[in-house]
């Protein structure tokens, strides 16, 4: 893993303000807005194609079975609720590259191709090979922002990280040993604070973080549907449990970050 230089979290972190003059900004802004709207849509009561495939306590995962030219591209939507951390903390550890190796179990190497701003990076990642399929890589921008519009009642604050595939002439797809996957991912987090009867200071016991994680991965080349669905079924719950556990652990002895 290539570690980044230190990025200072400035006051305007999450506003995208430093990234607004970048050629990728219109795409980043559009995809983030669309993905947030999509994440906020419910999964319905089974009527709109979402099937639950993992149900472990507060963590629920749904998929819609979709194939394009025989390739599995099942959209995933997961909901989780964890105690003791804020939306910003949950997004911070997902976004900042220096922590990725600690929680991302399918990662082989992560390279930062560009720092657009403190809240927007371009990554090239190689992932572990699943035998006998070819190894995969992914080239995507990642952006973290604070959400101020349309917050659900009772929400203290909301942050998101959106990841979306992009292109770089210097790194064309399928040119080496890897097949390029294409992904669209959003992690939406909301902090809820338990009201205190007295005005005593907030502690971690008063915090709840509501999480929605949506992902669509195009595997890039044909792979047997049954093998792919078996990987999804195993890897997504593993990821979300490990990731949320990691953030709780990282935060427990640190001051609360809003």
Residues forming the site for ligand 18C (CB under 6 A): 100, 104, 106, 125, 127-128, 130, 133, 136, 138, 163, 181, 183, 185, 217, 219, 223, 227-228, 231-232, 235-236, 239
Q: Which is nearer to ligand 18C, 10 or 174 (CB)?
A: 174
Handedness of CA 242, 230, 101, 157 (dihedral sign): negative
Q: How far is the CB of 85 from ligand 18C (least distance, A)?
A: 18
Q: Which is nearer to ligand 18C, 133 or 256 (CB)?
A: 133
Q: Which is nearer to ligand 18C, 156 or 241 (CB)?
A: 241
Q: Rounded distance, CA 174 to CA 156, Å?
A: 44
Q: Assign 217 to helix, strand or coil.
A: strand
Q: Which is nearer to ligand 18C, 127 or 210 (CB)?
A: 127
Q: How far is the CB of 187 from ligand 18C (least distance, A)?
A: 7
Q: How far is the CB of 199 from ligand 18C (least distance, A)?
A: 39
Q: Which is nearer to ligand 18C, 54 or 181 (CB)?
A: 181
| Alpha helices, DSSP H, located in 43-105 | 87-95, 100-103
Q: Which is nearer to ligand 18C, 73 or 206 (CB)?
A: 73
State how far Cα 152 lies from the chain centre: 20
Q: Rounded distance, CA 110 to CA 99, Å?
A: 11
Q: How far is the CB of 36 from ligand 18C (least distance, A)?
A: 16
Backbone angles phi, psi at 130, to 5 degrees: -105, 110
Q: How far is the CB of 215 from ligand 18C (least distance, A)?
A: 6
Q: How far is the CB of 18 from ligand 18C (least distance, A)?
A: 22
- Do the beta carbons of residue 211 and residue 79 sit within 8 Å? yes
Q: How far is the CB of 232 from ligand 18C (least distance, A)?
A: 6
CA separation, residue 130 to residues 105, 134, 140 (Å): 13, 7, 21
3-class SS shares of the chain: helix, strand, coil, % to 5: 25, 35, 40
- Do the beta carbons of residue 43 and residue 50 sit within 8 Å? yes
CA separation, residue 178 to residues 80, 132, 152, 173, 213 (Å): 32, 13, 42, 8, 26
Q: Which is nearer to ligand 18C, 124 or 138 (CB)?
A: 138
């Amino acid at each position: 893993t290539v570690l980044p230089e230190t990025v200072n979290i400035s006051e305007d972190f999450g506003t995208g303000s430093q990234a607004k003059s970048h050629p990728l900004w219109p795409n980043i802004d559009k995809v983030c807005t669309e993905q947030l709207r999509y994440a906020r849509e419910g999964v319905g009561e089974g009527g709109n194609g979402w099937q639950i495939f993992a149900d472990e306590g507060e963590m629920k995962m749904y998929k819609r079975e979709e194939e394009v030219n025989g390739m599995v591209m099942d959209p995933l939507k997961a909901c989780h609720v964890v105690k003791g951390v804020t939306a910003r903390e949950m997004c911070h550890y997902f976004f900042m590259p220096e922590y990725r190796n600690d929680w991302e179990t399918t990662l082989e190497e992560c390279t930062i191709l560009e720092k657009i701003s403190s809240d927007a990076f371009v990554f090239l990642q190689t992932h572990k090979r699943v035998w006998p399929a070819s190894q995969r890589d992914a080239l995507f921008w990642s952006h973290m922002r604070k959400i101020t519009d349309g917050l659900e009642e009772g929400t203290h604050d909301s942050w998101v990280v959106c990841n979306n595939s992009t292109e770089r002439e210097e790194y064309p797809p399928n040119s080496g040993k890897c097949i390029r996957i294409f992904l669209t991912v959003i992690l939406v987090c909301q902090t809820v604070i338990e009201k205190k009867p007295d005005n005593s200071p907030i502690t971690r016991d008063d915090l709840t973080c509501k999480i929605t994680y949506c992902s669509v991965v195009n595997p890039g080349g044909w792979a047997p549907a049954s093998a792919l669905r078996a990987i999804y079924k195993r890897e997504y719950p593993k990821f979300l449990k490990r990731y949320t556990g990691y953030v709780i652990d990282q935060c427990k002895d640190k001051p609360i970050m809003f």
